Structure 1
Amino acid sequence: MAVYFKRLHFWMFLFFSFSALAQLENGKKTLVHKNTALSPEEKNIKALYALYNKGDEKKAYLKAHSLLKSSSSNRLIASADLLLAYYFNKRALVDSSLYYTRQALKFNTTVNDSLKNRLYGLSYNLMAINYKKRGLFEESKKWHIKGIEVSQKYNEKNLYYTHTHGLAKTYADLGDYKKALELFKKCLEYKEDEEIILGSCINIGDIYSDMKEYDNANSYYKKGKTLCEKTNNNQGRAVILLGLGANYQLQHKLDEALKMYQEAVVIADKGELNQIAVIARGNVADIYIDQKKYNEAKLIFSEGIQKAVQFGFLQDQVHFYDELQKIAVLQDDYKNAYNYLGKSNQIKDSINKLQKIKEINELEIKYNTSEKEKAIKQLEFENETKKLTLANQTEALKNMSLREEITKKINENTILFFQNSADKKRNEINLLKKDQQLKTLEISQQKKNRAFTILAFLIILIPIAGLSFQYRNRLKNQRLLNAKQIEISTQRINGILKDQELKLIKASISGQDKERERISQELHDSIGGNLAAIKLQLTNLNESNLSNVENLNSQLDETYQQVRNLAHNLIPKKFSNHKFCEVLESYLKNISEASRIKISFTTYPKAEINAMDETIQIETFKIVQELLTNTIKHAKASAVELQFNLIDNSLNILFEDNGVGFNTENYSRGIGFINLEARIAKLDGTFALDSKLKRGTIANIEIPILDHSNVKKNPVQGIQIKNQLIT
């Protein structure tokens, strides 16, 4: 069991040893023209990759999405797509990473051949990594070879060693350790990239461990550990812990191995290293099997299968089902063992269908070696035959004399045999006659016993059949009666619910009517009266009574204040009495407790978001309500992440859930979706939706925030504003 996961985790380091940090940093240096002034698009690319390399991955993700929507430059779009592909690859979301990698290749149309092929090399590496995560090694091998060709053509050393490392991993996965060690040691010569050196050290350690050269393995692991501590690389630490754990497990030091694996689980969970977390848990389960803690192992393998299905790890699923089958056999649970075997074979069949090319290079080598072995065996066979012919000639003479003696003895024995056989046949005939007589007596006795048992069975069966018939009729009548009672009770409940709904509707309508009546009365009595008086005074205004202007101003201010008070009364009290972010946090907390969905809410900058216009706050609150309602109704999610970011007078709302997702091409828009689009359009905003089956849904909303400056309170401006409100 340990050997399998040993191989798995040294695949894993390939996916993380060439982290996005190193790749994108190199990309940043070469995708921008050297010795020239940076254009706006080049500045955007540099800023985007700088965000990611600093560890601010969420902001880089948001900015990349923003650039995809706003930019018309193919070069900038391709760079943003490549960053998103690295972002999803790190989180083991293979489908999303493959999609954005293909998009990067599609928009890679820059005139500069060097830049174009640099981006091709990075994209080919991502394609190879993602296919290796799925267990499609021949497909991964193809993309690494294409990457080597591109990097050699334009003398890209970093990319050349990156793809060389990936190709070495593929050979190791296919069992060709000799070629793998040769390529990994070649990668150690490249001193300009510590990530490649670290990956080579760990993979060489894994190979020596599989070859049971544990001292060599530990020496390379220690070199890798030193590099990890120097660069603060948690991914490398986790992989080294897996390697050390496997080493201890192969040496039957189970307690030390368990400690290493558990430390790897903690680091992987903290850093969202999904496949490392799956592998480490599988290794913990293997230790439990060795310790005969079968129930704990079954629990961990079941959780591992769910994670492997979620992230599309086919080889992990096969291994977990195989291990569950072994546990079931050990516990004499052959029914579940058969079910696990069927599931394992089903996944293996799907892998065979996806992987069209099957180890062509290895077969060629085997064919050449087998031909040489055949030639050597043919020569050895000819030499042996010559020796045997000489030995057989001497033995043939001895056999001739022995055959003559044997024939004499056989003739004597045959005569005795025929005499004995005649006596035996007579005795057998007598015994058969006696057996026949006994059998006839037994048959007659069996017939009598059978007739008696049938008669007794019929006597007992008839009353039982009558009772069962009556019981069935009674049960049938009781079921019909229960069904009618349930139908009557449901009709009553529906009637009560409808009455309650009518009462609530009537109460709501009466409340609205009272509010309208109050607003109408307020407008008519106070505001209308003031306006009528102002109009009358303006009509009679002339040079003789210019002193009334101050009186008019005071009346206008009073009317304006009444309009403001009326408008503020219409705004919900929770926004006027509390800060916007506090109201939204309280609402999300209540929804989380009621629906048992874990909701994460972050804002930046909080003070500026609280200071937004109340109209935008109210509409934003309703948009969040609509998104949460759709998630609760349809997504079956257990976690939701909500982010508010106010950047350059634009409010970005990022809403993401981990639900079942949906196919955006076949999705029919409902009333809630239409209302959501209408609210966003009302605010001149934009709306992007990204979803896929079994991957969750992401909603990205951009709303422009206008600068609403306060109006100065001088008489002329006050009149203009009030006239606008009236009209």
Structure 2
Amino acid sequence: MGGSVATLHVQAQQLNEDSIRRVIAGTGSDSVRVLALLTLGNYQLKHKMQDSIGLHTLEEGLGLAGRIRFRQGIAQGLMIKGSYYNSKHQLAQSLDAYDEMMQVAEDIPNDSIRNRLQMMAYNNVGGIYNDNGDFRNSLMYRLKALALVEKYTPGNYTNLAIVYLNIASDYRQLKMPAKALEYLDKTTAFFPKLNERLKMEYYYEYYHNYLASGKAVVAKAMLGTIEEGLRTFNLSDFQKKDYALMLAKLNGIFQLEYDRNYPRALQYYQRYEALARELKLKTEITESLYRIGETQLAAGNIPAAIASLQQSYNMAAANGFKHQLMKAELLLADAHKKNGNATEANNLLEKAMAQRAEIYNEHAVKELAFAEAQYQSEKKKAEIAALTLANTEKALKIARRDRLLLAGSLITGLLLLVVAWFYNSNNRRRKDAERAEKEQQKQIVFLERQQQVVSLQSMINGQETERTRIAKDLHDGLGGLFSTIKMHLSTLQHEVQDLRSYPLFTRSYELVNDASDEVRRIAHNMMPEVLIRIGLVPAVRELCNSINAGKLLQVKLQDYGMEERLQAATEIMLYRIIQELLNNIMKHSQATEAVIQFNRENNQLSITVEDNGCGFNVDADSGSGRAGLESVKSRVNYLNGSLSIDSQQQIGTTVMMVFLINH
């Protein structure tokens, strides 16, 4: 059993990339191929660390997007480029990619996609400035992002909250905590609607700003709020440990620096160290040992402090943590001085001063590199502006020459021009009328599309409402009735012992029991409780398990980056799509194996459903399963997604869907 599971796991890991490559090589739409190329390139760069291969794949996707004028694909590719270059500290290339992304996004006709991409570009550029200590420019770009969100998507509370949080962080680092708290408080009206991970991030930002504002009592109460969130929120195991680590550290700092409760601070720091070791975070282990030594020194336990600080020092030296090494040297020097060892204290102070000079030089080099990146970015903008100006001046010179030629022609051809003027006037009026008619037709088409979207939304919402009502009626009404019948039959067979010997009674009891189970199964399929309670992936996993129990079809589920839940309406829609595709596989494909894969990278979610069945003709207008596929297409369109179907006779079918989702 163990061997087969390992084999399936390896195949699934390869299958995701293989499926994307089939979409790239297939005959689907070029826009879907662009998105598949970008997905593959991003995967190669971020997960496989294949820089040259990933950049080649990315450029291939950008080239195809340029040839078909798919501006959304170009913008998404440039965003991946900007993120990649930033991770490699190639800041000039990163800023250039984001600047180009903003320009490309300007020409995207879809307001929602255009504004979301521009908002992401501004926010990410702000992040580059923030990482390099330029909080004023970071704030400027974050405020530009906020202007877009507030103007075009004021109801998108997640985007609003993310930008508010970033702005608050910038203000805090600019030593303006009151202004930071003002932006944090803007979420008060919709804070309950935010996802739980984002709420935890807000709690931490509130805590730091309360401390910076001198509100220690309120800050301490916020630590209790963080602890309550850690206990009650539906977080992943990694998130729980990560937040617990930060909470232990903050509690230790507060007990040491504000309450002066050294035993309590030591308990928190020891908890901090244990979590850091469990998560194998070397920087946090080094920091926790330093904090323990700092507390022991403040409490007067000098030998214990020296031992803890020496461990922190050794770990910092072994891993090249220069800033932590300098801190450990300074505090160790103080501890040895208090212990009467002046020689060792002086040696450590000399090392700390040398370390400080080295850190300062590295910081200066980093600042110069960032300044150079800014200069190159601004220089490129200036060159583009100068080129545009030169082209404009050239056009003006040509226009002046043409006007002189025209003046000479006017002298010799006045009568002809008068006739031409009448002709052009009539022609212009005709063109204006045609243009007005075209604009009217465009408006009609736009309104028709809007009406289609509204109708589709109403239909789908109506279907889900009716499914929920029927499921509730089946479970509470018919299910309850069957339970009552079973109870009466059970009572009857206990009161009349002879009934057990009657085959008709026994068969009737079994049929009632089977009917009761079937009602519950139907109600569960119409609105599974696990989908509402804990999310999409567990609900799909339960659906796969129920299919696997039948032995005719084995379904494997793989998910990557799905720790955060999506919006409830989106989860329901995606569940229905998966449910419909699995129904089609079971009814029509004659498949024995199927694989479902969720892959979430930042704001992009790709879903692949693959089987080893008999395949079908994708281009056929009718046939078995066609109604189900039309339902899938409608739901994908409703979510503004793209759909690609690749099917080969006797080999199987691959369905790939790509969606842009909000963070």
Report the TM-score range of the alignment, normalised by the length of the smaller protein: 0.3 to 0.5
Q: Which has the higher contact order (CA 8 A, sep 6+)?
A: 2
What TM-score results when the alignment is normalised by the length of structure 2? 0.40
Who wins on radius of gyration, i.e. which is larger?
1
What TM-score results when the alignment is normalised by the length of structure 1? 0.37
